[in-house]
Amino acid sequence: MTLETVSEAKAFGGCQGVYSHQSEATGTGMTFAVYVPDHVAGAKLPVLFYLSGLTCTHANVMEKGEYRKACAEHGIIFVCPDTSPRGDDVPDDEGYDFGTGAGFYVNATEAPWSQHYHMRRYVEEELPAIIAKHFPVDMERQGITGHSMGGHGALTISLRNPGRYKSTSAFAPIVSPMNCPWGEKALTGYIGADKAAWREYDACALIEDGARLPDLLVDQGHADNFLEEQLKTHLLDEAVTKAGMDATIRLHEGYDHSYFFISTFMADHIAWHAAKLKA
């Protein structure tokens, strides 16, 4: 597979790069960002995957997430994929919450989305293989995190792949797409009307069905205007409590859904991941 360098810049002693390639999973070109901190030649570093939310690309967290200083301090590689396939031949929707920018990290089964919308396969299989081939990563030490729709992606991908990720966290995640307008629209459109097929894309349903994580960190702004209708953090709190699963779910007064919120707690998350990835 050919990996093209779009840009590279030095930051906090390391390299912030943007790269592109032709994806087998989506059948389109894909672009992602990677920050590699300064390290001893030949060293293999732990890696943290960050999944972005609705309307975003790799660029949002790269430009606003303020992760590089913490990654440099802890020796963590930070990987930021796109949220969906893009291109002139890729189906789209007029709404911001479906189609381009809103892949929901599923493998679509419904036409016309099923041709390209395979972000689950891309994040679970193709992207890690590319990262392992081209960057100095120790794939035995992977973590995953994300924001909003990307938080949904991080939670469900980790729950479906027990043991792969040594650490899992999320910022303001959609915890139960089966029970919110964003999720109902996306899962109906991509997967179809059979709600039984939705459960593997719903963190609360996965936990209810027996999936577990060794630990979990979630931060949520109390002033987030999507909290009550779309995010419903209380459902995750109820699910982990009922399951007896270790989880730290923190609500923060005054914080909204933006990257001002994410950047405030990004260093906390990276330090939390680093402690587990280096254990």
Q: Quickly tell me which residue has 């005054």 as its tokens.
A: 254
239: Cβ contacts below 8 Å, ≥ 6 apart? 175, 203, 204, 207, 208, 245
Q: Rounded distance, CA 200 to CA 176, Å? A: 11
Q: Choose the catalytic residue: 74, 116, 257, 269.
A: 257
Active site residue 257: yes
Query: What is 24-90 written as a DSSP string?
Result: TTTSSEEEEEEEE----TT--EEEEEEE--TT--HHHHHHHS--HHHHHHHT-EEEE--SS--STTS
SS3 content of the chain, % helix, strand, coil (to 5): 40, 25, 35
Enclosing H/E stretch for 181: helix 181-191
Is 169 a known active-site residue? no
Q: Is the peptide bond before 162 cis (omega within 30 degrees of 0)?
A: no
Which one from 58, 224, 269, 273 is the annotated catalytic residue? Answer: 224
Q: Which residues contact 226 (CB under 8 A, 6 or more apart)?
A: 148, 172, 257
Residue 114's alpha-carbon distances to 107, 109, 119, in angstroms, are: 7, 5, 11
Which candidate in 23, 52, 148, 167 is catalytic?
148
Q: Identify whether the C-beta of residue 114 lies closer than 8 Å to the C-beta of residue 26.
A: no
116 is catalytic: no
Main-chain dihedrals φ then ψ at residue 118, nearest 5 degrees? -130, 55
In terms of phi and psi (left: phi > 0; alpha: psi -120 to 50; beta: otherwise), the region of 184 is alpha
Spatial CA neighbour of 227 closest among 136, 123, 148: 148
- Catalytic positions, please? 148, 224, 257
